[in-house]
Structure 1
Amino acid sequence: MSEVERSARGRADTKPEEPVLFVQSALAEPVMLETASGRVAVYSRPAPYRDRVNEDSAVLIPLANAGALLVVADGVGGAREGARASRRMVTRLATGFTRAASNVADPAHPSIRSATLDAVEETNRELLERGSGSTTLAIAELRDGQVRPYHVGDSEIWLIGGGGKIRWRTTSHSPTGYAVEAGLLAESEALGHDERHLISNAVGASDMRVEIGSFQPMRPRDTLLVGTDGLFDNLRTREVVEIVRKGPLHVAARSLARAAAERMAAHDETEPGKPDDLTFLLYRRLR
């Protein structure tokens, strides 16, 4: 298992055989990786404060038979405790799949789902015993040209078509997320809402629950996005989609990171924006 702590590597094209962790990262440029089925762009950087600890973590976990897990986690509970919680979550997933590799060789085997849920439950129990720190979680399981989402909290997963249509997206486990999904709150209202920062579900909570979606087919021109709220609290849906849907993957990732950073720094009351850690993964299938 390898851990990525790169400050500026740009396009570092590699095809890892073991999990690649991004913990307390401060990437200047997206890191490019490959799986057996597609290409992945990973970006993670702390909020634009001096000496800020990045509470976000991420991991790419290659699986047998061209499968993979794309994971982000956003720590909650103060800089050190939040960073520790998110790191623990992605590390537990990575070590769990490394240990169970021989048991998940068959992509139809329920061990992939079971190993994922076991890792989440073990981390939840450990964080509760510690009594401090929790984390959101978003996992995209890639298998046979399909994707299945798992999530806890307000980190999100979107599947975006090449024509700019969001084919599906997860619903944030938060007061504003539920209100938007129910049609009670417009996106523009949610971005500026006083309760935007609140979440109603987290790994490390006694009532934690994992929402699991069904497998959805990925088309050749689709882009999968897995990200923390540092992205979605700073850019409108249409802004994210317009950047992500077109152009080479590394260009889209670089543009997305730049747009979010510029919005955080703008201090424009007419635009959404709040300084926060920013982590996302973009994935496209090989054609």
Structure 2
Amino acid sequence: MTILDGARTADQRSLSIAGGELVAYSCVAPDKETENEDTVAAIEYGPAAAVLVVADGAGGLPAGKRASQMAVTELRRSLQQAQEDTMLMRTAILNGIEAANRAVLDLGNGAATTLTVVGIEGRNVRAYQIGDSEALVVGQRGRVRLQTMAHSPTGFAVEAGFLDQRAALHHAERHLVSNFLGTADMRIDMGAAVELQSRDTVLLASDGLTDNIHLHETIEIIRKGSLQGAVEQLTRLAARRMSAESGNQPSKPDDLSVILFRKPGKAKKPQ
């Protein structure tokens, strides 16, 4: 397993996992005196499978960093046990999220965290959502094949068609979140399985990215080129937006974490 927490300085890793390439990055918000409350993980689940995780400890609540770390640690422990028991990945992830929720609740200090999980098994991917971090699957031509919904007033408004993505990014209630890990009423939003096509890109990100970069900008950056280059473009743009508030562009200083994953194209059949 690879874990990033970017506690005080930016942390970036590249690795091969689940038959594909992954680049992960995490950094603390600019000019922030406390530590990065995000935790990022890539957990192997067999030779061609992996579980990718972004957890964003709730700002303004006690021990946000401890909550995100506890959630990821407990999810990993549960997945390792499930792998020994040869459990189906979907069941293993759901059980692991429930175990993580109990572990954060047991801290007993009101701590909470978002949790976005993507399970990759062969070419099938499925997202599991708690909170407002995000998962996307984007095709090489820019088609969005999977997108999680933020559990927030603006997220629900976008889903219902009352707000567009651009207006939501500037909305006064953008920061409000209605679903957390570490609460008795936590709910898991499990999506349908999606089959990865050649050169599809999987993204997981905390709201340090999604609150500072428009969706169409993210899609254009990640749909082609190297994953390393895409991470550099995303993080550079987000940092610039955070440090220069403008009425025309979003600007919300925050911890920022992102995972990009891509499988190689399918081999062509011989003629």
**TM-score higher than 0.5:** yes
How much does 1:43 deviate? 0.5
Deviations 1:59-105 (A, max 9, x none): 1001113100110000015376111100001111122223333223x
Distance in 2 separating the partners of 1:179 and 1:38: 35
Q: In structure 1, what is the equivalent of residue 119 of structure 2?
A: 141
DSSP 3-state at the match of 2:102: helix
How much does 1:131 deviate? 3.5
Stretches of structure 2 lacking an aligned partner (at least 5 in a row): 266-271
* Counterpart pick for 1:277 among 249, 252, 255: 255
CA contact (8 A) 1:41 1:283 kept: yes
Q: 1:28 to 1:121 in 2, by over 3 A?
A: closer
Distance in 2 separating the partners of 1:176 and 1:202: 16
- How many residues were matched structurally? 264
How much does 1:266 deviate? 1.3
Distance in 2 separating the partners of 1:122 and 1:97: 10
Letter in 2 for 1:190: A
Q: 1:119 to 1:241 in 2, by over 3 A?
A: same
Q: In structure 2, what is the equivalent of residue 246 of structure 1?
A: 224
Q: 1:59 to 1:29 in 2, by over 3 A?
A: closer
Stretches of structure 1 lacking an aligned partner (at least 5 in a row): 1-18
TM-score by length of 1: 0.87
How much does 1:41 deviate? 0.6
* Counterpart pick for 1:113 among 83, 87, 90: 90
Q: In structure 2, what is the equivalent of residue 39 of structure 1?
A: 21
Distance in 2 separating the partners of 1:167 and 1:209: 23
Q: 1:126 to 1:64 in 2, by over 3 A?
A: closer
Identity of aligned residues (%): 41
* Counterpart pick for 2:195 among 217, 238, 247: 217
* Counterpart pick for 1:83 among 58, 65, 71: 65
Distance in 1 separating the partners of 2:39 and 2:157: 27
How much does 1:28 deviate? 3.9
Provide the alpha-carbon RMSD of the alignment.
Answer: 1.6
CA contact (8 A) 1:21 1:91 kept: no
DSSP 3-state at the match of 1:30: strand
Q: In structure 2, what is the equivalent of residue 72 of structure 1?
A: 54
CA contact (8 A) 2:76 2:96 kept: no
Deviations 1:183-230 (A, max 9, x none): 101222211111101111110112110011121010111100011111
Q: In structure 2, what is the equivalent of residue 127 of structure 1?
A: 104
Q: How does 1:56-71 map to 2 (within 5 A)?
A: 56-71=38-53
DSSP 3-state at the match of 2:63: helix
CA contact (8 A) 1:154 1:173 kept: yes
Distance in 1 separating the partners of 2:44 and 2:102: 26
How much does 1:26 deviate? 4.7
Letter in 1 for 2:52: L
CA contact (8 A) 2:39 2:56 kept: yes
* Counterpart pick for 2:239 among 258, 261, 282: 261
Letter in 2 for 1:249: L
Is 1:100 the counterpart of 2:82 in the alignment?
yes
Letter in 2 for 1:69: V
How much does 1:25 deviate? 3.7
Query: Which 10-residue stretch deviates more, 259-268 or 175-184?
Result: 259-268
